[in-house]
Amino acid sequence: MAAKEDIYSKIIPRRLRPNRQNAVKHGSHLDVLLLMGFPHNRALKALVSTGGRNVQLACDWLFSHVDDPFLDDPLPREYVLYLRPSGPLQNQLSHFWQQSRLTCGKNKAHNIFPHITLCQFFMCADSKVEALCGALQSTVNQWRGRFPSPLPLELYTSSNFIGLFVEEQIAETLKKFAFDFAAEAATKADVQVEPHKKQLHVTLAYNFPSSHLASLEKLARGIEVKLSCDWLAVLFSRDVRFANHETLKVMYPYIPQNEDELELVPGDFIFTSPVEHMSTSEGWVYGTSLSTGLSGLLPENYVSRADECDTWVFHGSHSFFSALPSEKSNKESRTLDGLLSIQCLDNSKAGDSSIMNVVCQPMQVLRVNSHSQSPKRTLFVCRHGERMDVVFGKHWLSQCSDAKGRYVRSNLNMPPSLPAWGGNRDYDMDAPITVFGAIQARTVGEALLENNTTIDFVYCSPSLRCVQTAHEILKGMKREGKLRIRVEPGLFEWTKWVSGNSLPAWISPIGLAAANLSVDTTYKPHISITKLNVSESYDTYMSRSYRVTKDILADCKNKGNNILIVAHASSLEACTRQLQGLTPHNAKEFVQVVRKIPYLGLCACEEQDTGAWQLVDPPILPLTHGPNHSFSWRETLQQE
């Protein structure tokens, strides 16, 4: 304690010193921001707008909103309390969310994640938010052990609505919890909360075309409602000014050409109202940036529709069955953030005139979702690029060999050279990628780089097309030679699809490295080539894929957040489905899924706080490349 007191005595003028019991003992983020010279109302607004996570985020928010005309507006935010599922049931609901979106497109339910609404949106002043969060935690603590488990849900469908309804008697119990929270919030935070009075339910789909009902209902009936689930009480807030606005996500950067235009930064969100949308010129909309608070005109084709909840701020979640470890770690991190900021102030030797200018480290303008959590582990699975034998046919080798057996390029889409040509290479069974395949892969790598997505580990199937694709992705990310590819035979596709009675004669890691491909020659595979059997059963393939994926994740745990697997179309399904707690499709359904996955198709599977994995939107746009047939000017242009 004496050391902390010395810090304060060195950096804070006597007239500005706060009560030491409040500033030093609690080390609150607000105290630190005030010591840095920020006005009280702005510091509070910054903390509330970033979920109170740490001083750094609050500072970033303040600096990015320095020109926000509403920076000093005292208007409070709107809050809402939801029950949010976690565990196996959440995995099933997430799968329904994604499949329904892929099958039938987006409907109104997709604007918000799966949840049960416990109260209406309500206002809370910035100065009362900490007390509001305390009221929620206190209420959950009182209900811990009393919360009904399991929560009985029943599927209900109509012409434009599908949902899971809570059994009536249990629903009354949940409403009692909501009333208890409302009473606690009124006492501790002086806010008026109106508990939800309608039937409690999880909305699966609504406001969709009637032609989609059968497909959506079939998907909904696949949800196993009796799966175990830890329901979490979660608190979110939103900016009330944009409650009825459309939410858009910036896809491409835009530099304003005129004073009334808005700068666009990829990853930012834009709010625009239907009235403003209609009043602007064709191809332009008027919107307000989430990350800066500035408004202006922007080109409509630079943004895409986003979900409403993408811009909400997360203020905490609490389990009814156990105190989540994250609750404790969040408290510890907040205290640590406060102490680190105080130490930075000390190091700066700030005096009366310099407190306003003190910054612990270079601040980055806040350009991303305000309520984003600390980085989670993410598994990316990607299909290889365009392959030679598909483009030029199974006899493609005869088109690029001269009389002496040397490789000769006969089309611009054929690579200038091939690795290990002239050796005992069986290219019929292990085809390389085309020139466009390499371009596809580099394009994906460049997009990941532009999106600031880092990759810590790369694994790939032993197929040459997969190794080459992984190498080109690393080129696009400017990580070629810096990150080595781990060749894992366990990631090879379903061996039933291999023609003949033997597996391909793959180039060894040493041979691949000799061909200047960024391969880790020291890597020891989890499943050796000798363990692969020709014509394995579907169950064996799915089991193998799941096992090797789990082994890879275990190997990389605590060593890096992002793992990239480059393998086959089937790998996107085989490496992620069971990881989410879902049972495999049957073989027929599996084949139908695989047929829809294009070259360089990419999926992202994210580890949740509960330890479960869930598919999420990839950080980059999809890649579409249409067919481009071979062109002969003689045959086409010299016809009589």
What average pLDDT score do residues 323-333 get? 43
Q: What is the structure's pLDDT at 422? A: 58
Strand partners of residue 380: 564, 604
Closest CA to 548 of 487, 468, 618: 487
3-state secondary structure of 197: coil
What average pLDDT score do residues 232-242 get? 93
Please give the helix or strand (H or E) that residue 172 lies within, else none. helix 168-189
Q: What is the structure's pLDDT at 323? A: 61
With cut-offs at 50, 70 and 90, classify the pLDDT of residue 322: low
The CATH homologous superfamily to which domain 378-388+431-616 belongs is: Phosphoglycerate mutase-like (3.40.50.1240)
Tens of pLDDT, residue by residue over 184-206, are 999 999 999 999 888 999 999 99
What average pLDDT score do residues 513-521 get? 93
Tens of pLDDT, residue by residue over 256-276, are 988 899 999 999 999 998 655
Tell me: pLDDT of 304 over 80: yes
Tens of pLDDT, residue by residue over 550-589, are 999 999 988 888 999 999 999 999 999 999 999 999 998 9
Query: Between 629 and 219, where is the model more confident?
Result: 219
DSSP letters spanning 533-602 = -TT--HHHHHHHHHHHHHHHHHHHTTT-SEEEEEE-HHHHHHTTTGGGTPPPPPHHHHHHHHHT--TT-E
| Structure-token match 């304003």, residue found | 256
Closest CA to 101 of 172, 25, 205, 202: 205
Q: What is the structure's pLDDT at 405? A: 77
Active site residue 383: yes
| Structure-token match 């992984």, residue found | 470
Q: Spot the catalytic one: 383, 425, 479, 486.
A: 383
Lookup: tokens for 248 = 């858009």
> Does residue 344 contact residue 530 with C-beta atoms inside 8 Å?
no
Q: What is the structure's pLDDT at 328? A: 37
Among 51-60, 306-315, 330-339, 610-619, the minimum mean pLDDT is found in 330-339
Q: Spot the catalytic one: 384, 425, 465, 486.
A: 384
- Kindly tell me the sign of the dihedral angle through the C-alpha atoms of 511, 513, 519, 520: positive
Lookup: tokens for 113 = 């994640």
Among 147-151, 303-307, 361-365, the minimum mean pLDDT is found in 361-365
Q: What is the structure's pLDDT at 374? A: 53
- Kindly tell me the sign of the dihedral angle through the C-alpha atoms of 560, 561, 566, 572: positive
Q: What is the structure's pLDDT at 278? A: 47
Tell me: pLDDT of 366 over 50: no
**How far apart are the C-alpha atoms of 512 and 508, rounded to whole Å?**
6
Q: What is the structure's pLDDT at 26? A: 30
Q: Spot the catalytic one: 318, 371, 568, 577.
A: 568
Q: What is the structure's pLDDT at 282? A: 66
As to burial, measured by CB atoms within 10 angstroms (0-12 exposed, 13-18 middle, 19+ buried), residue 172 is exposed
> Does residue 302 contact residue 270 with C-beta atoms inside 8 Å?
no
Among 190-199, 219-228, 413-422, the minimum mean pLDDT is found in 413-422
> Does residue 202 contact residue 116 with C-beta atoms inside 8 Å?
yes
| Structure-token match 């016809």, residue found | 639
Active site residue 629: no
What average pLDDT score do residues 143-172 get? 90
Tell me: pLDDT of 481 over 90: no
Closest CA to 63 of 37, 89, 97: 37
Amino acid in the structure at residue 441: A
What average pLDDT score do residues 172-192 get? 95
What average pLDDT score do residues 412-417 get? 92
Tell me: pLDDT of 333 over 70: no
Query: Between 105 and 326, where is the model more confident?
Result: 105
Query: Between 450 and 560, where is the model more confident?
Result: 450
Lookup: tokens for 92 = 């099933």
Closest CA to 330 of 274, 264, 374, 381: 374
The arrangement of secondary structure in 28-74, i.e. its CATH architecture, is Orthogonal Bundle (1.10)
> Does residue 298 contact residue 268 with C-beta atoms inside 8 Å?
no
Tell me: pLDDT of 361 over 90: no
User: What length does the chain have?
Assistant: 640
Average pLDDT, the chain: 83
3-state secondary structure of 438: helix
What average pLDDT score do residues 22-42 get? 74
- What are φ and ψ of residue 437, in 5° steps? -60, -40
Q: What is the structure's pLDDT at 42? A: 94
With cut-offs at 50, 70 and 90, classify the pLDDT of residue 5: very low
Among 19-23, 449-453, 592-596, 599-603, the minimum mean pLDDT is found in 19-23
Active site residue 544: no
> Does residue 541 contact residue 495 with C-beta atoms inside 8 Å?
yes
**Looking at the domain covering 78-319, what would its CATH class be?**
mainly beta
> Does residue 506 contact residue 464 with C-beta atoms inside 8 Å?
yes
Amino acid in the structure at residue 549: T
Lookup: tokens for 18 = 């706060």
Q: What is the structure's pLDDT at 425? A: 62
Query: Between 633 and 291, where is the model more confident?
Result: 291
> Does residue 489 contact residue 448 with C-beta atoms inside 8 Å?
no
Amino acid in the structure at residue 291: S
Please give the helix or strand (H or E) that residue 116 lies within, else none. strand 116-117
What average pLDDT score do residues 171-195 get? 94
With cut-offs at 50, 70 and 90, classify the pLDDT of residue 375: low
Q: What is the structure's pLDDT at 359? A: 35
**How far apart are the C-alpha atoms of 498 and 411, rounded to whole Å?**
27
Query: Between 170 and 9, where is the model more confident?
Result: 170
Tell me: pLDDT of 21 over 70: no
| Residue 86 to residues 204, 234, 429, 471, Cα–Cα distance (Å) | 16, 12, 44, 37
Max CA separation in the chain (angstroms): 98
Tell me: pLDDT of 482 over 70: yes
Q: What is the structure's pLDDT at 636? A: 61
Please give the helix or strand (H or E) that residue 213 lies within, else none. helix 213-221
Listed by start position, the domains of the chain span: 28-74, 78-319, 378-388+431-616
